[in-house]
Amino acid sequence: MGANYQLTATVREKVGKGAARAVRRQGLIPAVIYGGKEPPIAISLSGRDVYFKIHGGGFMTTVAEIEVDGKTIRTLPKDYQLDPVTDQPIHVDFARLTAGSTVTVEIPVHFENDSASPGIRRGGVLNVVRHRVELECPAEEIPSHITADLTGLDINDSLHISSIDLPAGVKVTIDRDFTIATIAAPAGIKEEIRQAAEAAASGEAEESEAEEAEGESKE
């Protein structure tokens, strides 16, 4: 899990589109903190701080400690919106975190030991089926990523979620052993496999014909 970071916010007295535009004109970002059996709080945050947190990576899986009127609220970002032209953040939703709570988050998958994969060494291509996996995690122990080990995987092999060691207390939300990645054969090897299969089929056909001919001659 990435280190928690701190943000300082001010309460927004007015809400709505007009009020949000006024906040943005001041270089601030409108946001909301909700959940935890408490009323939602409309806040404003530094646009610069939020921009660098979002584009720095790990924003959705790192706890944000937001100071509001002298009180620190532990939160996890749940959603954000970017301006389609400038890529600047225009709104953020934060969910309160309470002691002992669990959260559902999408965690990125990191792949390692590609040099220990016979399939990749033979020219195979890593086909990533899931770049991120939805996990249920303790609020205090959100992993920054999970690691998929490619050691021993050959061409046409698959790597499933059951092959990945998850941190203690973390579990997958999908109740099946889904595929994370496969090792696909490149065009050249596919052609070799096709030719080998055709040759094997041709050999079996010739052997069968020879057996039939031998049987007829004995008759």
CA nearest neighbour of 132 among 54, 61, 52, 84: 61
Give the domain ranges of the chain: 5-98, 104-185
DSSP-derived secondary structure letter, 186: P
Within its chain, how far is the Cα of 102 from the centroid? Answer: 18
Please determine, for residue 124, whether its predicted confidence score (pLDDT) is greater than 60.
yes
Instruction: Report the top-level CATH class of 5-98.
Output: mainly beta
Place of tokens 């301006």: 83
Instruction: Give per-residue pLDDT as tens, 22-33.
Output: 999 999 999 999
- C-alpha 94/C-alpha 30 separation (Å) is 11
The domain at 104-185 falls in which architecture?
Beta Complex (2.170)
pLDDT value, residue 192: 66
115 band by pLDDT with thresholds 50, 70 and 90:
very high
Please determine, for residue 198, whether its predicted confidence score (pLDDT) is greater than 90.
no
Mean pLDDT, range 196-219, rounded to an integer: 64
- C-alpha 166/C-alpha 137 separation (Å) is 10
pLDDT value, residue 188: 62
- C-alpha 73/C-alpha 131 separation (Å) is 31
Give the percent of the chain with pLDDT over 70.
88
- C-alpha 152/C-alpha 17 separation (Å) is 55
